[in-house]
Amino acid sequence: MNTRVIAMGVALVGFLGLTGCAAQAPTPEASSTSSESEVATPKPTKDPVFLPSGSAKDNLYFFSWVIEKSLAADPAADSFAVAQAVGAAGFDPATVQFTFSRTAAGLAADTSEVAVQLGGQCLIGQFGPVAPKVIARVLPVLASGGCLLGTEVQSLG
């Protein structure tokens, strides 16, 4: 009896798996709808701009773009160079912080961070060899007054 129950279970799982595949197969209508929605949402054609009176959240996209642009211009750019680009882009250089791009042993760090304070919050960007893309977030300022924590954190200001 147990063998029969197991065989029925295996058959049911196989049937449900095939049903799931069939249900997910694209239909001609679904294909045209998804391509139309992709066309309907155009990508920005102009470069983003710094909004000095805007919030950290308002400037998050611009902050990420500055980091991405710096790394595209020089893929070997270290965190200091990226931090300088952030400061030169309109953010207050006195509040820009960054971590080292190399470890104490001289090896390339897996990721580096660059951060800047804006409007009582922190914009923090992470990038490096193990990060598939720039990761940027808005987080609160630390109780210590900065955005990054650690003995290896450096400041432009």
Query: Which residue would you say has higher pLDDT here, 28 or 114?
Result: 114
The answer for residues whose C-beta is within 8 angstroms of residue 149's C-beta and 6 or more apart is 142
Residue 33 in this model has a pLDDT that exceeds 80: no
Query: Which ranges of the chain would DSSP assign to H, the alpha helix?
Result: 2-24, 28-40, 56-73, 79-88
Interval 70-96: pLDDT, tens: 999 999 999 999 999 999 999 999 999
Write out the two tokens for 14: 């196989």
Q: Is 109 left (phi over 0), alpha (psi -120 to 50) or beta?
A: beta
Please give the torsion angle defined by the CA atoms of residues 85, 88, 90 and 92, in that order, rounded to the nearest 10 degrees.
90
Residue 6 in this model has a pLDDT that exceeds 80: no
E-assigned strand segments in 76-131: 97-98, 112-118, 121-127
User: Do the Cβ atoms of 118 and 137 come closer than 8 Å?
Assistant: no
Parse the chain into domains and list their residue ranges. Answer: 2-40, 56-155
Residue 17 in this model has a pLDDT that exceeds 70: no
Paired with 126 in beta bridges are 113, 135
Residue 60 in this model has a pLDDT that exceeds 70: yes
Write out the two tokens for 91: 């953010």
User: Do the Cβ atoms of 87 and 96 come closer than 8 Å?
Assistant: yes
